[in-house]
Amino acid sequence: MSDVLTVVSCAIDPDQVDCLFELLDADLFTPTSWFDLEKQVCRVDVFLEDAEQAPMVCAALTNAGRLIGLDLKPSCSTMARSDWAESWKRFFHVEKVSERVVVRPSWEPYTPQPGEVVIRLDPGMSFGTGKHATTQACLRFLDRLAGEDVNRSVIDMGCGSGILAIGAKLLGFTDVAAFDNDPDCLHVALENADFNGVSFPVTVDDLSHPYPPRDIAVANILAPVLITFARQVAASVARKPDARLILSGILDEQYPAVRAAYEAQGMREVDTILIENWRSGLFQPLLSPEG
């Protein structure tokens, strides 16, 4: 592992970040964004282990920017891995994301209040920090569902860092599983689970087929993917009165199309949460008179 990272950066209007990220292929690289309060500048950064990927990333950012009318000018620099690790600490602090769930970076002390659940995180290059609106919405729904009944099985579909599965375990769900199509996520999720003192099975899998039905399924994935695989995702939810499906990763203007796709699969919207311009939905299966 190199001690130096290559950083591809560009300034951007903060209102355009979500649209830019929607156009980028998440399988190729992981962009991050941050807002410098002192300079009032928003930047997109991509941290690369392999410097040879930099031209591809620059081209991808430039092309995606053109599609939304932006003239982005990516630049390349290098950063010591140790400096990168320390730089995250400026932007991540203790944050309460739901009624009971608190996300705490490992370097900040925090004394939980009675009834609170604390997820400890150490941000990494592909690690979900819990600060994104879609992750927060999922945790809020899981918090609510745990308050109703924790004796339900949970599957985190496209788990990434495993933060949602970790949250589910800490909230009291005992039967939790997760999968992702990226093999790197397997060891990351397991390491993060161990860091939080919980465990659950994580496998490498995708949405090309239904998962064995679970009482609660969580899919925090981009809208086009949710629509394409609506049949498989919906079929992974048990046909029971207390079964629920959480859909997230959806821009507000895309939500009607996602909702329609799942209504066509026999799902009914129960509630939605809008955070910034990201909308997440809670669904339940429509049951036949016999069911």
Q: What is the DSSP string of 203-220?
A: EE--SSSPPSPBSEEEEE
Please report, as a single letter, which amino acid is at residue 178: A
The residues facing 83 across adjacent strands are none
For the stretch 136-181, pLDDT in tens is 999 999 999 999 999 999 999 999 889 999 999 999 999 999 999 8
The pLDDT confidence band at residue 126, using thresholds 50, 70 and 90, is very low
Q: What is the model's pLDDT at position 88?
A: 59
> What is the tally of structural domains in the chain?
2
The pLDDT confidence band at residue 106, using thresholds 50, 70 and 90, is confident
Position of tokens 């895309």?
Answer: 254
Q: Does residue 100 lie in a domain region?
A: no
Q: Does residue 12 lie in a domain region?
A: yes
User: In terms of domains, do 182 and 75 share one?
Assistant: no
Q: Does residue 233 lie in a domain region?
A: yes
Cα distance between residue 248 and residue 13, in whole Å: 24
More confident residue, 135 or 91: 135
CATH of the domain at 257: 3.40.50.150
pTM exceeds 0.85? no
User: In terms of domains, do 53 and 149 share one?
Assistant: no
CATH of the domain at 37: 3.30.70.120
Q: What is the model's pLDDT at position 81?
A: 74
User: In terms of domains, do 196 and 272 share one?
Assistant: yes
- Judged by average pLDDT, the poorest of 28-32, 136-140, 261-265 is 28-32
Q: Does residue 237 lie in a domain region?
A: yes
Write out the two tokens for 203: 């496998």
Summarize the confidence of residues 109-116 as an average pLDDT. 90
Range of the domain at 192: 140-285
Average pLDDT, the chain: 88
Q: Does residue 21 lie in a domain region?
A: yes
Cα distance between residue 119 and residue 72, in whole Å: 36
Does the pLDDT of residue 183 top 90, yes or no? no
